[in-house]
Structure 1
Amino acid sequence: MFWSKDYIVERLSEIPRTLEDISIEVFEGVPPTNDFLQKAGLSSENCTDVSCVCRDSHTNVSIEQASIEKELMYPYVDDSVLNEFAVQSTQYQFMVPYKILDNNIRKEYRIFQPEELKAEFPVAYKQLLEIKQQSETEEDEFVSTDYRFENESFLRYINTPKIIITSNSRLQASYDPTGKHVFANGVGVVLGDPTLYLYVTAVLNSSIARAFPEVWSRKGVQSRSKLNSQMLKRFPVAFPKKDGIENIISTISRYLIYLNRQKQMAKAYAIPGYQELIDFYKRISDLLIVDTYITNDLDPKLLDVLAENITASDGGFEYSDDINLLIGLQEIKKNILSAPDFGKCRFSNEFTNILATLKNNAVW
C-alpha cells in the first residue's frame, strides 16, 4: 500500500488524544519586543548581576545600565536560536519586577511597588524610571502601572518545569526542567504527568511533527501568523503500545538534551562529533515515534537491540558537563550498529514509504 500525504494526515487527524488533554496549561509567552528585554553580560569578572542595554520598543532608545539586580533577571528564549531538546538562551535576559509568592506548580505573584523597588532593587528602579521619562506620557507620578505587564499569564508558570516550543522552519521543542526561562514567539506546555516531559519533547522534535500543519489546517486552527497556543492544544498525542518503547524514547531524549547542550559549548572545547551523534539518535527516535503513531509493526529484533543498549541511570546526567558521557554515547551507537540482529532488521515497504513522505519537505 502506498501511504500518500493525504492518507497520513487523515490517520494523524483521527488520533483522539491531544496535547491539551495531558496538560495543565498550554500558554503563550511574552511579546518579542519589550522594555524589559536586556542584553546580558557580566559587569565584572566574578559578578553574577547583569550588564544591560535596554531596548525601548516605543522610543527605540538604548539605555546603558550596569548591574541589574540578578533576583529580577531571567534567561530569555525566542525563535532566533536553535532550541531542540536543550534550552538555548539568547544574549538577552528579561527583567521581571514581580515577587513570586509560592513554589506551587501554578504560582501566585504580585508586582513590586515603586517604593519597594527603590529600596530593594535600586538599579532596576532607576532603569524603569528612565524608561518612563523617555516615554511621552503626561502622567508625572511613577506608579506600578508604568511597568506592569500587559499580559501576566506567563508568570503563573515561571519556575515551573515546562516544554518551550518555538517555530522557525519547523517546530523546535526544548525541556526547561527548572522553568526559569522567559520565552517569546513560542508556546509553553506544563504537563499533568511530569514523567511525560521527555517523551513529549521527543515527539514534538520528530519527523512526524512535520505533518501537523496539515492536521491543524483540517481541524480549522491553522494560523498564517506565529505559532500559538490554540494550534499546540490540538497536537495529537499517541503513546506506544509495546512495553518499554516509551522509556527508550525518553532515554534518547535525555541523550539529545546532553548532546545539544554540549554542542552549544563545542566552540569553547573544539570537540567534534556532536552533530553526528545527534543525527544518529534522532533517527532512532524518529523510527520509534513513526511506528507509535502510524504503523506499529517495527521488527522485534530492532526493538530488542535498542532495549539492550539504550539505558541510563536515574541521575540527571543530561545536565552534566562530563565529557566522558560523550564517549559513552559513542560506544552505545557502536554497540547498536555492530549487534548481529541489527543487521538483520527489515522495514516494511509501508514504513519506508511513510518515512520518505514525512521527510520530503516539498510534500509538506
Structure 2
Amino acid sequence: MFWSKDDIVERLAKIPRTLEDISVEIFEGVPSTNDFLHRVSLSRENSPDAPYVCRHLYKNVNIEQELMYPYLDNALPNEFAIRATQYRFMLPYEIRGCSVRKEYRIFQPEELNTKFPLAYERLLGIKSKLGSDGEKLDSADCYRLEDERFLQYINTPKIIITDHYRLQASYDAAGNHVFAGGIGVILGDPSMYHYVTAILNSSISRAFPEIWKREKKCTSNNIYPKTLKRFPIIFPKGEPVETLIITISRYLIYLNSQKHTASVCSLPYYQKLIDFYKRIMDLLILDTYLTNDLDPRFLEILAENIISPEEGFEYITDMSLLISMQAVKKNILDSPDFRKCKFNNEFTNILVTLKNNVVW
C-alpha cells in the first residue's frame, strides 16, 4: 500500500482516544498582559540585596523569594526539557494544598505589606510610576492576575506545550514554572508523563495541524486547549516498546538540559546524541501509531541497550551519564544484527512520505 500524506492524516484522525481522555485539565498559562507587573529579570550582578531587575522602575529590586517562580520563555526552544531563563514571575498569592488541584487566594494589600514588604514596595512604586494617586495600594485588584485559573496547578507536575516554529512539549516535574503563550497539560496518570511528552515531540505532532483544519476546529496553526484536546493518543500493544519510549524520553530530557548549559564547542556533540535518540524514539512511535510491524530483532537490540540508569537520573548533572549514553549509541550501531534489521515496505513508504513533506 502506498501511504500518501492524506492517508497518514486520515489514519491519525480516526484514532478514538485523545489527549482529553487521559487528562485532568488542559489549560492556558498566565495572560501576557500581566507581564509588566509580575515579571522581572535576574540582575547581572547577582547581588543578594537586589537580585532582580524591574524594567518599569528602571532599577534593581529585591523581592521575597516565597513569591518568586521560574518563568518559561516560549521565545526559546523548550523541547523535552525546560530551558532556564533570566526571568522570574512574582505571584502575590498563597498557594495551599498538596493535591493535584490547589487552593489559592490573593494577599490583600495590608497583609502583603506586613508579610512581604519588598514586594509591596515594588508594586507601589509601579503604581506611582503609572501616575496613580495615593501612598498605598488600595485594592488587590491592581495586582490581581487577569486570569487566575492556572494557579490551581502551580506545584503540580505537568507538560507545558509551546509553539516555537512547531509544537514543542517539555515536562515540568516540579510543576512550578509560570508560562505565557503556552498550554499546560495535567494527566490523570502521572506515570504517563514521559510517554506523552515523547509523542507530543514526535513527527506525529507535525501532522496534527492537518487534523485541526480538516475537522474545522482551527483555521491557523496556533495552539489552544480546545484543539490540543483532540490530539490522538495510542499506547503500544507491548510493554517493552512503551518502556523504551519512556526511557528514551528521559534520555532526551537529560540531554536537552545539558545542552542548554553546554559550551558552544560542545553543542554539536550533544545535538548528535539528541538526533540519534530522537530518531529511534520516532521510529517506535510511528510504528505504534501506524503499522505495529517493526523487526523483532530491532526491538531486542534496543531493549538490550537502552535501560534506565536510576530514578530521576534525567535531573542530575553527572557527566558520566553522557558518556554512558554515547556508549549505548555505539553498542546499538555496532551490534552485528543492527544493520541487518529490515523495515517492511509499508513502513519505509511512510517514512519516505513524511520526509518528502518535511515532517521526518
Alignment equivalent of 2:307, drawn from 308, 311, 314: 311
Alignment of 1:35-50 (within 5 A): 35-41=37-43, 44=46, 47=48, 50=51
Q: Could you give the per-residue CA deviations for residues 10-58 of structure 1, whole angstroms, max 9, x where no partner exists?
A: 000000000010001000001234221111236646x39741224xxxx
Query: Which SS does the other structure have where 1:68 is aligned?
Result: coil
Task: Provide closer, same or farther for how the CA distance between residues 313 and 6 of structure 1 changes in structure 2, counting only shifts above 3 A.
Answer: same
Report if aligned partners of 1:185, 1:227 keep a CA contact under 8 Å in 2. no
Report if aligned partners of 1:198, 1:250 keep a CA contact under 8 Å in 2. yes
Aligned counterparts of 1:226 and 1:138: Cα–Cα separation in 2: 40
Q: Could you give the per-residue CA deviations for residues 233-254 of structure 1, whole angstroms, max 9, x where no partner exists?
A: 1111011112311110000001
Aligned counterparts of 1:231 and 1:48: Cα–Cα separation in 2: 45
Amino acid paired to 2:67: L
Deviation of 1:130 (Å): 1.8
Report if aligned partners of 2:28, 2:183 keep a CA contact under 8 Å in 1. yes
Aligned counterparts of 2:49 and 2:122: Cα–Cα separation in 1: 18
> Alpha carbon RMSD of aligned pairs, Å?
2.1
- Residue 113 of structure 2: aligned partner: 118
- Residue 124 of structure 2: aligned partner: 129
Task: Provide closer, same or farther for how the CA distance between residues 101 and 243 of structure 1 changes in structure 2, counting only shifts above 3 A.
Answer: closer
Aligned counterparts of 1:29 and 1:88: Cα–Cα separation in 2: 17
Indicate the percent of aligned positions where both proteins have the same amino acid.
58
Aligned counterparts of 1:199 and 1:225: Cα–Cα separation in 2: 24
Task: Provide closer, same or farther for how the CA distance between residues 141 and 277 of structure 1 changes in structure 2, counting only shifts above 3 A.
Answer: closer
- Residue 229 of structure 1: aligned partner: 225
Task: Provide closer, same or farther for how the CA distance between residues 104 and 63 of structure 1 changes in structure 2, counting only shifts above 3 A.
Answer: farther
Alignment of 1:8-23 (within 5 A): 8-23=8-23
Query: Which SS does the other structure have where 2:171 is aligned?
Result: strand
- Residue 78 of structure 1: aligned partner: 73
Alignment of 1:249-260 (within 5 A): 249-260=245-256
Deviation of 1:93 (Å): 1.1
Q: Could you give the per-residue CA deviations for residues 327-347 of structure 1, whole angstroms, max 9, x where no partner exists?
A: 000000011111122111011
Amino acid paired to 2:39: L
Report if aligned partners of 2:57, 2:129 keep a CA contact under 8 Å in 1. no
Task: Provide closer, same or farther for how the CA distance between residues 268 and 211 of structure 1 changes in structure 2, counting only shifts above 3 A.
Answer: closer
Query: Which SS does the other structure have where 1:93 is aligned?
Result: strand
Aligned counterparts of 1:225 and 1:131: Cα–Cα separation in 2: 36
Structure 1, unmatched stretches of 5+, are: 55-60
Structure 1 consecutive aligned stretches of length 4 or more whose deviation exceeds 6 Å: none
Query: Which SS does the other structure have where 2:69 is aligned?
Result: strand
Alignment of 1:30-179 (within 5 A): 30-33=30-33, 34=35, 35-41=37-43, 44=46, 47=48, 50-54=51-55, 61-135=56-130, 142-179=138-175
Aligned counterparts of 1:116 and 1:161: Cα–Cα separation in 2: 29
Structure 2, unmatched stretches of 5+, are: none
Report if aligned partners of 1:43, 1:67 keep a CA contact under 8 Å in 2. no
- Residue 6 of structure 1: aligned partner: 6
Query: Which SS does the other structure have where 1:240 is aligned?
Result: coil
Report if aligned partners of 2:28, 2:224 keep a CA contact under 8 Å in 1. yes
- TM-score normalised by length of structure 1: 0.92
Task: Provide closer, same or farther for how the CA distance between residues 322 and 362 of structure 1 changes in structure 2, counting only shifts above 3 A.
Answer: closer
- Residue 29 of structure 1: aligned partner: 29
Query: Which SS does the other structure have where 1:24 is aligned?
Result: strand
Report if aligned partners of 2:209, 2:221 keep a CA contact under 8 Å in 1. no
Aligned counterparts of 2:328 and 2:166: Cα–Cα separation in 1: 29
Amino acid paired to 1:20: E
Alignment equivalent of 1:290, drawn from 286, 291, 294: 286
Alignment equivalent of 1:355, drawn from 347, 351, 354: 351
Alignment of 1:314-353 (within 5 A): 314-353=310-349
Deviation of 1:188 (Å): 0.4
- Residue 58 of structure 1: aligned partner: none
Aligned counterparts of 1:28 and 1:328: Cα–Cα separation in 2: 38
Aligned counterparts of 2:201 and 2:59: Cα–Cα separation in 1: 38
